[in-house]
A and B are shown apart, each in its own frame.
Chain A
Amino acid sequence: MRDIQYVPFGENGIKIVFPNHISQEIHERILKLYQSVKRHTVESITDIVPSYTVLTVYFNETLTSFNQMKEKLESIWASADARDETPSSRVVTLPVYYGGEVGEDLPKVASANNFSQEDVINLHSSRDYLTYMIGFLPGFPYLGGMDERIATPRLEKPRGRVEAGSVGIAGSQTGVYPIGAPGGWNIIGQTPIPIVDFTREEPFLIEMGDYIRFRPVQHKEYEEIKQRIKNGSYTIEIVDKEA
């Protein structure tokens, strides 16, 4: 591919740099490369970190060099690119209780954009959000595609603690806090689904390339789901995205 560059990242990393703008097309190319590199399980690779426009591959520099790794990745990419398949992706549904004590900034987001709280809930939950990458905190998804009409600037003064599961808006981005942390996002609700759980076989719920669907629930259902998660009877809704 002529529009991508392989550049060193220290002595143990290589960055595959795609054109410098955020788009679903570039995301899909990176996802495809990411998935095929993962499938090849190259022993000297220690981690692969996808982001909006760059795929970073870390390797054990005592086993391999930049040039060897570059050749390896180029050949993986050539064979992956030749196959005309779209990368697989999933839809993860997160039930969300909007407003109330767990979404105290919902009234603010509504009034800032001249909507009712119900309008904000509808606009926020009416589309699937693409996970462009994971970063900032363990498991934190960078989601794209929020309706600009509910965009709201970050809090002037970040909160000392935002609870795990909190769903927020910062500028024109939306996201969900995987763990409790300080943060400046406008919190509009909370999901009872643990995004990160080290006792689970798959500790991280969300992968790059997943679509997130927020499903509004009433307080009663929110509490019920919480209870069912505790006793292990709740199955998180994950389906393959239809092409």
Chain B
Amino acid sequence: MSYLLCSIEKAGILTSIQDLGRFGYQHYGVPISGAMDKVALQIGNGLVGNDLGAACLEVTMGGTTLQASHDHLVAITGADLDAKLNGRRAPLWSTFIWRKGDTLTFKGPVEGIRAYIAVQGGLDSDSILGSQSVYERGQMGRHIQSGDQLYSHSNQIDRKKIGLSHDKRPSYDKDIDVRMVVSQHESYIKKESIEAFFNTTYTVSAGDRMGIQLDGEAMTFQDTGDIISEAVTFGTVQVPSSGTPVILMADSQTTGGYVTIGNIIRADLWKIAQLPPGGKINFHKISHEEARKLSKDLHAFLSSLQKEAKYIPSK
């Protein structure tokens, strides 16, 4: 069944339906896509009682206005985009009933840049290759436009007002440390350049769902930075001929012909997804074993969200 959820009065800068992404098609050149911040998306789904991977609305930067068409149980997670419900501060990281006629606005970034609206039952939209994640460049759905209507798989409201305790909420700094597992291309880059990469601070100059460009120490190659194209993915740090690194994000192409430094660990990707232009990044090297442990810890935390029926009530 499909239930009318809301109408989009103003789409804003970039708003799209995303879930955990499209898996098993990278060999056909199809990116993973899905939420840029998969932690916030999963927390939102956990709060409203969905499968952690249910489709949510990803609101980037804001400028977005939505009006509820019926009563629904929702939760807003991720960035604080100055969300307001009928002009008053909307609850974040906790469930609330979005009543028919109520207007939800996202004015602009206060902390972080991507907010998620999870609705009980999950958003209902076309699924392409097993995912509702919109990837416009590959003609898999399109971004939200003003005047669109959104649908949900349910109109049930069977949960109490619950929220995520403050100590468990992610915070979105503008100066972050991220860890990475280095790739086998290290030998293509001058040794002092690799050292500099891990010892200097990079600044986000521009970014979108495909990738984030960095300003900072340009890297120099032993010989060339061009390689025979091979797989790259969400989190791979590439060094194009200019020498300044690019972090490939959710809509990353699946293969690339530039040298890579390594992959950002999955437990840290969300920090980058929430970093605004001008944000600072320091990179640190860790082993794939440590990275795996951190990913498992994160996975356990997210799974516990769903299993624990009793949430800490929000005030």
Residues on A close to B: CB < 8 A? 5, 7-13, 15, 17, 20-22, 46-54, 56, 58, 61-62, 65-66, 133-140, 142, 179-181, 198, 203-204, 208
Contacts and interface: CB of A to CB of B under 8 A. Distances in A.
Given A10-B235, A15-B230, A135-B254, A47 B29 contact: no
Contacts, number: 123
B23 A198 contact: no
B24 A46 contact: yes
A12 B96 CA distance: 36
Contact of A47 (B26, B181, B183, B255): B26
B219 to A, nearest CB: 20
26 contacts: A10-B181, A10-B264, A10-B266, A11-B181, A11-B265, A46-B23, A47-B23, A48-B27, A49-B255, A51-B230, A51-B231, A52-B228, A53-B230, A54-B230, A61-B292, A61-B296, A66-B289, A137-B137, A138-B29, A138-B30, A181-B137, A198-B129, A198-B140, A203-B28, A203-B129, A204-B28
B: contact size bracket: 35 or more
B200 interface: no
A140 B25 CA distance: 13
A179 to B, nearest CB: 5
Nearest to B290: A11
A198 to B, nearest CB: 5
B229 A11 contact: no
B235 to A, nearest CB: 6
B170 interface: no
A62 B229 contact: no
B234 to A, nearest CB: 9
B263 A15 contact: no
Contacts of B24: 46-47
Contacts of A54: 230-231
A62 B296 contact: yes
A8 B181 contact: yes
Contacts of B125: none
Q: Is the interface of B mostly helix, strand, loop or mixed?
A: mixed
B230 A62 contact: no
A62 B297 CA distance: 9
A36 B213 CA distance: 38
Contacts of A180: 139
A181 B139 CA distance: 10
B184 interface: yes
Contacts of A21: 228
B181 A135 contact: no
B89 interface: no
B228 A134 contact: no
A194 B121 CA distance: 35
Nearest to B183: A9
Nearest to A38: B27
A135 B139 contact: no
Nearest to A48: B27
Interface in B107-154: 128-129, 137-140
A20 B184 CA distance: 12
A171 B229 CA distance: 16
Contact of B27 (A5, A13, A47): A47
B266 A12 contact: yes
A33 to B, nearest CB: 13
Contact of A136 (B25, B26, B29, B291): B29
Contacts of A12: 266, 292, 295
Given A46-B24, A138-B138, A179-B138, A9 B231 contact: yes
B233 interface: yes
A135 B231 CA distance: 9
B169 interface: no
Contacts of A5: 184
Closest 9 CB pairs of A and B: A135-B255, A10-B263, A56-B231, A11-B291, A8-B288, A54-B230, A49-B231, A7-B184, A11-B292
Contacts of A179: 138-139
B190 interface: no
B295 A61 contact: yes
Contacts of B128: 198
B159 interface: no
Given A8-B181, A49-B26, A51-B255, A66 B288 contact: yes
B214 to A, nearest CB: 19
Given A49-B27, A179-B139, A58 B233 contact: yes
